[in-house]
Structure 1
């Protein structure tokens, strides 16, 4: 068939998309140059203006807006009539998830791919990222693309066209659904009790959006929190923008944050539109900042990065956190310092793939002293309900994967579950099992991405273990093989070369200068998740024990790395893992300082773990008073108590230093006079925990002795009535340490004060 057939199909697809106010997907598969030419034919036939089309390709020279596929995230928060994804270079599941939502109702999403029968067996850039040493590219499978191609050939609204080298086409599926015309829409009325300007409600496109704006009126009252949840394309950011503008006209200082400034573009755009409708005069109009003159209310809307927003939260009137699901829980919690706060978050879709907000943060929000209002938006704005491209993307990328319903697993206990290896072939063949297992990982981790689905199915170093109750997955662990690298690779790592997929060996070799850290073979627990309905029953610990029983004889150690919190450190410590490192910078994903922990399983592993525990003990005192001086005191306590203290040296304090220390504990001395012996005692106690001290006293040791904080902020943080009382409390905290670790010189000095 000629190109005329393709042009006719593209015309029909666009016409149906417009009539239904939905989108259609056109797949062009063959060789690259022919597919690119065919894409131009289709877009021209569909009457898409060049300014309304974007192509994602590693090639250059297009008349459309062009980005590389690895930069597809730049399309988040934007809309286009057509988006073309060239999958011949830099193809990744993330690129699909980030770009497909940019197509507006009535538009086309065009995918250019190798011949579909061959595509699963081809290897590209993303596959190379999965070939982590000691595995090679030949070890990477094509399961994800096999499943992806199946969805393209089976799902409604997807047209598939084969293109040969001469430009001839064969329409394998026309993708036409015969869907009903889009229903006519009417603007929702302004609520009778509205306090925001009527123009704000007249700008709403759906009843859901109007309800969201009405709920956001509560932000006028300090102590309020509003949660707006919706799938992508429901107008939640626009609702936030209307509310932000209305609040600014009342003179309020509004702070907006999001994972990236581009993610707040829709909020600022809608705010500017409403302010224009209200004839407000903008004293400042910048990309990240809007200020009104006094006659227009004198308020302000400004963007700050998440970390900056946390620091400024108590100095503004209202905070809007857009795409809150993509923010670490620590930062979300910090935003609660604001007088009023709105969390605007995607439920499913690319931005909502991380569910830390709904799973890990929501409990903290409910426990906070806030009046919380929840709003759910279901009505699409960018396209009509039943859009087949949205349904296809959700299925192909498992964007809506979820664990079993709580009622199905509520009876699960360690006695009712069975341990299983979930083979990747089994997962790709069983959609229900795959969705349940992946859904648990999504629900428990704030930053699970579509790429993680491909890693789960294709990466040769990854595997999955699970606990099953009545055929339901109730706990799941993603494991990564690492280490066991040859001498040449280890030397390259020592010289600074990054080696993918080997997190613990990489950090311990390149940063901590252990040339042999990558020699032992290990298994790292990348993710572990238990169904939220049955947590605290010991299922996560049982899963870790089963993993250790199965793999302990095959490897030298089990390891893990995560954003450190006291609860997580305690969980891993209870399961036999010991701290070997605390990162000196915060992790970009979690917002926390990462901890590395190891559980040895062989003599080689025990020697490996022992030397790194020893090195950790030797360096941590100096690091706590420097790069980790801001680390949470309870994280310090948990990390140190989880370190292997066996073989720790006797407290090395001279007779003179004992006189200084005992005088501060029992007499008139001051701890500021000689920090070294006090740090030695504090570290010894936090490592072995033999002396009986209260939680508050241990926090005082961390803040004042180890982190060298000034007396005044320590007094305030730990709620002492005065600086003098804080000083006296430190002396009392030192007494049991002198009694536990002191020698004859210490006890002779102590006798002077008894």
Structure 2
């Protein structure tokens, strides 16, 4: 709806009526203030003091705030408001529009709420130099399809009120249809059902975990809090709660506190104690795992934002665990989380339960603003329904593809694949994909259905002087992730001077996997990169055994393992590449040879938590070392037959891991994890025993002796 604005005082009575009618109908609206920024701020300053406001925020400079009641908010801190409630948001788009923050903050707006967005006129959005672009390397002079797409969506959307503060005509505001019964924020039937299920789960049998998924604003955190309180009332003594950050559980604790009422004895930050001595306590996930306190029930909220290995440790560490996460979120996508974590649940707790919430709590069903935000940022991106085919064969087409020039239906299908494959995919990724001039993409389709996508970025080609500075650690530039990493961390400045094509994301539809589609996509990118004279094809990802095997199948080899676990996945970054030019192949060979020479020293010092199968896979991928000499062989025979101690033999055993064919043989042996933990990672026998890989030091050493005997008798020739 397009409405003219006024450079006179806003019609306060009309806006008050709008606010009341929105509150009654349970709806919210976006008010787009187009044009001169100063005029927009002045217009807001005239309007806001007359509007009802419980809690509001302003994202612009503090000195420009149009109302003293607004909380100053830096957009990068928007996630801190998740789980809270806002009646007014004044978003100063002239200061920058990070998509994740904008989408997240909109979810805090309650029924009757207004989201004021200060922006240039819509026709300027494609060329608008958004200050947030500099943070992500998108501050180029070209067009910005992501912003242009948003402009097209908001131009005539029923959730949008367009106001032009520097024009003269008075606005005409929409009047929502009022329901027979006014909207109220109260426990929905959906929530009541979930609370009942959670209580039964918390009082029920062990090893029956629950996974709760819901869209934003459905009240899952409130349901968790009410259920936790009811469990304490019904006899549970200790309930632990965890989440990515303490502010994520404020809603949970508020509803638990209200439910306990006068049964509450003590309250402190992150802890409630009842008169009966029962306790509900928040602990950060890593602190909880380190301390291992006793609890009959553990609840993990916003689980999609927590590394999967930590979630698995929680799952196996306590008898009753409930995980809850947002399905289409701004912290990460719950669908991708559910798909990936389902494998862990199926393997370790096959009787797990899946629960959902559909009814919104903070606003009425069908709220136009929720639909708009979902469209703008593709929060509900879907890969589409499978189609009947006779198999890929001749029907599979691999083609270059430009996501910025396709239809929204096709874009949603492709982005939906990325969401499902990478559970931290967010609206910011969509903007980067559409707007980055260095992006190159390919699509796999069967008929009209997209079954696979590959997103790459052109990197490197930096001036030698700059490459040297990056290698020294005195410079760091935006973008160029893989070349800069190899230059600065591996110590090869030529990696930044050479040109590469880096795979950013790859995804294949779940029903089309194991058909070679991913390999075909990578092959298409490799052929184009080679034809264009690029030096290498590379990728950087959170390491896992499956992904290592996939990229090895595409011809890529390991060149670097990161030293720090990724916050999003809990996995160590793994970087692999394939040399295309003679310079690229020569560089790859040098990096790999050097890494292999240092590997046995680096592994126990830097990767003590690396999964054994992945550690073994990387070791097997690296160039092999020398064969054992006669003295080493003698030590191995003596160790295998119990005449030589383990601690004195560790250097020989470690070197044995790099002998041609040995690690490939060990990969198929049952005691592989014992070998990796004790030999390659140097873990204490106490920790190895706690991991249930042996009964103690003697049992562990006996297992290694037997493994070496089998290797000497049945393994590769030494």
Q: What TM-score do the two structures reach when normalised by structure 1? A: 0.88
**Equivalent residue for 2:263?**
280
**Equivalent residue for 2:444?**
467
Residue of 154, 157, 165 corresponding to 2:156: 154
Q: What pairs with 1:37-436 in structure 2 (closer than 5 Å)? A: 37-45=42-50, 47-49=51-53, 52-60=55-63, 62=65, 63=68, 64-131=70-137, 137-139=140-142, 141-164=143-166, 168-170=167-169, 174=172, 176=174, 178-181=176-179, 183-184=181-182, 205-217=187-199, 218-221=201-204, 222-249=206-233, 250-276=235-261, 279-283=262-266, 285-292=267-274, 296-311=275-290, 315-337=294-316, 338-351=318-331, 353=333, 355-406=335-386, 408=387, 412-427=391-406, 430-436=407-413
Offset from partner CA, 1:437-468 (integer Å, 9 cap, x none): 11111111111111111111111112221101
Secondary structure at the counterpart of residue 138 of structure 1:
coil
CA contact (8 A) 1:409 1:472 kept: no
Q: CA deviation at 1:411?
A: 5.1
Does 1:31 find its partner at 2:71?
A: no
Residue of 16, 20, 44 corresponding to 1:15: 20
- The whole-number CA distance in structure 2 between the counterparts of 1:593 and 1:150 is 40
CA contact (8 A) 2:625 2:660 kept: no
Q: CA deviation at 1:317?
A: 1.4
- The whole-number CA distance in structure 1 between the counterparts of 2:60 and 2:80 is 13
**Equivalent residue for 1:489?**
466
Q: CA deviation at 1:355?
A: 3.2
- The whole-number CA distance in structure 2 between the counterparts of 1:507 and 1:84 is 39
In structure 2, do the counterparts of structure 1 residues 38 and 5 end up closer, same or farther at CA, with 3 Å as the change threshold? closer
- The whole-number CA distance in structure 2 between the counterparts of 1:243 and 1:619 is 53
Q: CA deviation at 1:346?
A: 1.2
- The whole-number CA distance in structure 2 between the counterparts of 1:676 and 1:560 is 33
Does 1:711 find its partner at 2:689?
A: no
Secondary structure at the counterpart of residue 569 of structure 2:
coil
CA contact (8 A) 1:240 1:267 kept: yes
In structure 2, do the counterparts of structure 1 residues 512 and 94 end up closer, same or farther at CA, with 3 Å as the change threshold? same
Query: Which deviates more, 385-394 or 680-689?
Result: 680-689
Q: CA deviation at 1:436?
A: 0.7
CA contact (8 A) 1:692 1:736 kept: no
Secondary structure at the counterpart of residue 320 of structure 1:
strand
Secondary structure at the counterpart of residue 606 of structure 2:
coil
Q: What pairs with 1:503-652 in structure 2 (closer than 5 Å)? A: 503-554=481-532, 555-643=534-622, 645=623, 648-651=624-627
Query: Which deviates more, 5-14 or 496-505?
Result: 5-14
Q: CA deviation at 1:569?
A: 1.1
In structure 2, do the counterparts of structure 1 residues 258 and 687 end up closer, same or farther at CA, with 3 Å as the change threshold? farther
CA contact (8 A) 1:563 1:592 kept: yes
Secondary structure at the counterpart of residue 160 of structure 1:
strand
Q: CA deviation at 1:552?
A: 2.6
Unaligned runs of 5+ in 1: 188-203, 744-754
Residue of 480, 488, 492 corresponding to 1:502: 480
Does 1:454 find its partner at 2:431?
A: yes
Q: What pairs with 1:721-740 in structure 2 (closer than 5 Å)? A: 723-735=697-709
In structure 2, do the counterparts of structure 1 residues 182 and 282 end up closer, same or farther at CA, with 3 Å as the change threshold? farther
In structure 2, do the counterparts of structure 1 residues 182 and 80 end up closer, same or farther at CA, with 3 Å as the change threshold? farther
Count of matched residue pairs: 703
In structure 2, do the counterparts of structure 1 residues 394 and 684 end up closer, same or farther at CA, with 3 Å as the change threshold? same
- The whole-number CA distance in structure 1 between the counterparts of 2:666 and 2:412 is 48
Offset from partner CA, 1:267-317 (integer Å, 9 cap, x none): 0111111112xx11323x22222223xxx3322112222333444567321
Offset from partner CA, 1:74-97 (integer Å, 9 cap, x none): 221111110111101132212211
- The whole-number CA distance in structure 1 between the counterparts of 2:288 and 2:661 is 33
- The whole-number CA distance in structure 1 between the counterparts of 2:140 and 2:666 is 55
Q: What TM-score do the two structures reach when normalised by structure 2? A: 0.92
In structure 2, do the counterparts of structure 1 residues 149 and 663 end up closer, same or farther at CA, with 3 Å as the change threshold? same
In structure 2, do the counterparts of structure 1 residues 36 and 444 end up closer, same or farther at CA, with 3 Å as the change threshold? same
Q: CA deviation at 1:607?
A: 1.0
In structure 2, do the counterparts of structure 1 residues 696 and 169 end up closer, same or farther at CA, with 3 Å as the change threshold? farther
Secondary structure at the counterpart of residue 379 of structure 1:
coil
- The whole-number CA distance in structure 1 between the counterparts of 2:173 and 2:510 is 39
- The whole-number CA distance in structure 2 between the counterparts of 1:693 and 1:548 is 29
Q: CA deviation at 1:471?
A: 0.6
- The whole-number CA distance in structure 2 between the counterparts of 1:680 and 1:712 is 24
Query: Which deviates more, 713-722 or 72-81?
Result: 713-722
CA contact (8 A) 1:163 1:170 kept: no
Secondary structure at the counterpart of residue 372 of structure 2:
helix
Unaligned runs of 5+ in 2: 1-5
CA contact (8 A) 2:666 2:672 kept: no
Offset from partner CA, 1:181-211 (integer Å, 9 cap, x none): 2745799xxxxxxxxxxxxxxxx61111100
CA contact (8 A) 1:227 1:373 kept: yes
In structure 2, do the counterparts of structure 1 residues 162 and 552 end up closer, same or farther at CA, with 3 Å as the change threshold? same
- The whole-number CA distance in structure 1 between the counterparts of 2:552 and 2:410 is 31
Q: CA deviation at 1:476?
A: 0.8
Does 1:441 find its partner at 2:439?
A: no
In structure 2, do the counterparts of structure 1 residues 100 and 588 end up closer, same or farther at CA, with 3 Å as the change threshold? same
In structure 2, do the counterparts of structure 1 residues 456 and 350 end up closer, same or farther at CA, with 3 Å as the change threshold? same
- The whole-number CA distance in structure 1 between the counterparts of 2:662 and 2:493 is 27
In structure 2, do the counterparts of structure 1 residues 715 and 80 end up closer, same or farther at CA, with 3 Å as the change threshold? closer
Secondary structure at the counterpart of residue 125 of structure 1:
coil
Supply the RMSD in Å over aligned alpha carbons.
2.5
CA contact (8 A) 1:25 1:175 kept: no
- The whole-number CA distance in structure 1 between the counterparts of 2:422 and 2:22 is 36
Q: CA deviation at 1:369?
A: 2.7
- The whole-number CA distance in structure 1 between the counterparts of 2:542 and 2:548 is 9
In structure 2, do the counterparts of structure 1 residues 687 and 60 end up closer, same or farther at CA, with 3 Å as the change threshold? farther
Query: Which deviates more, 338-347 or 492-501?
Result: 492-501
- The whole-number CA distance in structure 2 between the counterparts of 1:712 and 1:596 is 32
- The whole-number CA distance in structure 2 between the counterparts of 1:390 and 1:543 is 35
Query: Which deviates more, 235-244 or 706-715?
Result: 706-715
Q: CA deviation at 1:414?
A: 4.7
CA contact (8 A) 1:409 1:469 kept: no
